[in-house]
């Protein structure tokens, strides 16, 4: 009888130890989930801040012709898509998105005006850089290659939408 009670006590202590281990594992999983959620929330906030920053730079680019609008709006769209569905929906409803990106996203084409809005400031900025790199031939070659790439992409690869 004493051996049976002793055996029962050992089994009971093993069960208690097992239950304690499971409880500790559950607490660790809960703490890990909370850490992941807070890291995810921080990432969403950073994406939103990046989106608003790029949107602001894009809006400045609307007023200042030397600052290109479209690249900043593209990056803002990417950031808002990563931040939250609510911000992404809001951004897609803005006038800037509809004027600059909606045609390209839906039809994979751009109006001639949109293409020129991109190409003219890019050409001006690259020409300034090209002129300032008189003593750096490698820099001039890189800038010329970038400019040619823009001309080929927007002139021949992206279709021109005749409707807008």
The tens digit of pLDDT for each residue in 25-80 reads 655 655 556 666 677 888 999 999 999 999 999 888 877 767 777 788 888 999 99
Question: What's the average model confidence in pLDDT over 7-18?
Answer: 56
Question: What's the average model confidence in pLDDT over 86-111?
Answer: 84
**HSE (side-chain half, CA atoms, 13 Å) at 26:** 6
Task: Report whether pLDDT(106) > 70.
Answer: yes
> What span, in angstroms and rounded, lies between the C-alpha atoms of 15 and 9?
10
Burial of 55 per CB tally in 10 Å (0-12, 13-18, 19+): buried
DSSP E strands, 90-164: 109-111, 159-161
Of residues 9 and 110, more confidence is placed in 110
For residue 112, give every residue at least 6 positions away whose Cβ sits within 8 Å of its Cβ, in sequence order, or none: 160
Q: Is 110 within 8 Å of 161 (Cβ atoms)?
A: yes
List the structure tokens of 80. 């808002």
Nearest to 99 by CA among 85, 82, 118, 80: 118
Task: Report whether pLDDT(8) > 50.
Answer: no
pTM above 0.85, yes or no: no
| Amino acid 15: pLDDT | 60
The tens digit of pLDDT for each residue in 117-163 reads 788 888 888 899 999 998 999 999 999 999 999 899 888 888 888 76
Question: What single-letter DSSP state applies at residue 94?
Answer: S
| Amino acid 48: pLDDT | 94
């Amino acid at each position: 009888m004493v051996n049976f009670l002793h055996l029962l006590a050992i089994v009971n202590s093993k069960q208690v130890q097992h239950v304690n281990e499971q409880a500790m594992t559950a607490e660790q999983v809960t703490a890990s989930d909370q850490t992941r959620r807070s890291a995810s929330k921080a990432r969403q906030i950073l994406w939103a801040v990046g989106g608003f920053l790029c949107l602001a730079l894009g809006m400045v680019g609307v007023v200042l012709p030397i600052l290109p609008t479209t690249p900043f709006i593209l990056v803002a769209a990417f950031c808002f898509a990563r931040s939250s569905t609510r911000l992404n929906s809001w951004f897609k409803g803005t006038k800037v998105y509809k004027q600059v990106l909606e045609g390209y996203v839906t039809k994979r084409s751009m109006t001639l005006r949109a293409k020129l809005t991109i190409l003219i400031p890019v050409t001006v900025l690259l020409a300034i850089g090209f002129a300032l790199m008189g003593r750096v031939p490698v820099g001039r070659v890189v800038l010329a290659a970038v400019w040619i790439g823009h001309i080929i992409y927007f002139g021949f690869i992206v279709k021109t939408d005749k409707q807008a």
